[in-house]
Amino acid sequence: MAAHSIFLFFTTCFVALFPVIDPIGSGLIVNGYFGSITDAERKKHTQTIFLNCLMVGTVSLLAGHLILLIFGLAVPAIQIAGGVVICKSGLEWLNNSDTDNLDKDEKEGQQVKKNNLISKIFYPISFPICLGPGTISVIFTLMATAEKSSWLATGVNYAIIIIAMILQLVILYFVILSGSKISRKLGPVGNLIINKLIAFITFCIGIQILLSGIGKAFHLTIF
C-alpha cells in the first residue's frame, strides 16, 4: 500500500472513532466515579480501563463478524441494548446521594465504595461508557472498508484501525489521570455540579445511542 493511502485511511479511522469514543467527555464521566480514591488507585484503575477498552475494541475488530453470526445479533440490537445500559448508569448517577460523610463508620463506608468501584471498572465504566456500542458499530463499518483482496493489505488496514483506537485511548488515559487535579481545583460543590451535569449528559448519550439503534432497526430517520 502507498504511504498516501495509509495516511488517508488512518485519518479516516481517527476522525470516525473520535466522536464515538469521545476521550475527553468519557474521561470527565469516569472522573465522577473516581472522586474518593488516591492518585495511585486512580492510575491503577485507569490502566485497567485502557486495557479493557483495547481488548473490547480489538476483539470487536478481529472477531466481530463471527460474534454477530454465532449469537445471531445485529448492530442495531447492540446499539439499543447499549443505549439502555448507559441510560441506566446515568440515572443511577443522578440519583446517587452525595452524603457519604454522614456514615457512622466513615472508613467502612469508603471501603465499601472502593469495592463497589472495582466491580464497575469493566462494566459499566470500560464498557459501555468509555468504549460502547457506538464505537463497536463504527469499528464494524471500518472493518468492512478495510477488507481488501490481499491478506497483506487487509492486515495493514486492521493494524491502522487498532493504532487509531490506541491513540484515542491514550488521550482518554491522560484525561482520567488529570481528573484528580481538576477535582481539587473545583472543590466539593464544583465537583457535585460537574458530576450531576455529566450524569445528565451520560443519560442523553444513552438516549441518542438507543434512538440510533431504533432508527437503524426500523429504517427511520430520527436525527
Q: Name the residue ranges covered by the structural domains of the chain.
A: 3-217
Contact by Cβ (8 Å): 114, 41:
yes
CA gap 171, 174 in Å, rounded: 5
Per-residue cell: 223: 436525527
**Other CB atoms within 10 Å distance of the CB of residue 39:** 10
Terminal alpha carbon distance of the chain:
37
Q: The whole model's pTM is what?
A: 0.76
Per-residue pLDDT of 116-154, as tens digits, reads 888 899 988 999 889 988 888 888 878 877 877 788 888
pLDDT band for 98, please (50, 70, 90 cuts).
low
Per-residue pLDDT of 163-207, as tens digits, reads 999 999 999 999 999 887 877 787 778 777 877 887 788 788 788
Exposure of 72 by Cβ count < 10 A (0-12 exposed, 13-18 middle, 19+ buried)?
exposed
pLDDT of residue 101: 40
Contact by Cβ (8 Å): 165, 57:
yes
3-state percent breakdown (helix, strand, coil) of the chain, nearest 5: 85, 0, 15
**Other CB atoms within 10 Å distance of the CB of residue 104:** 6
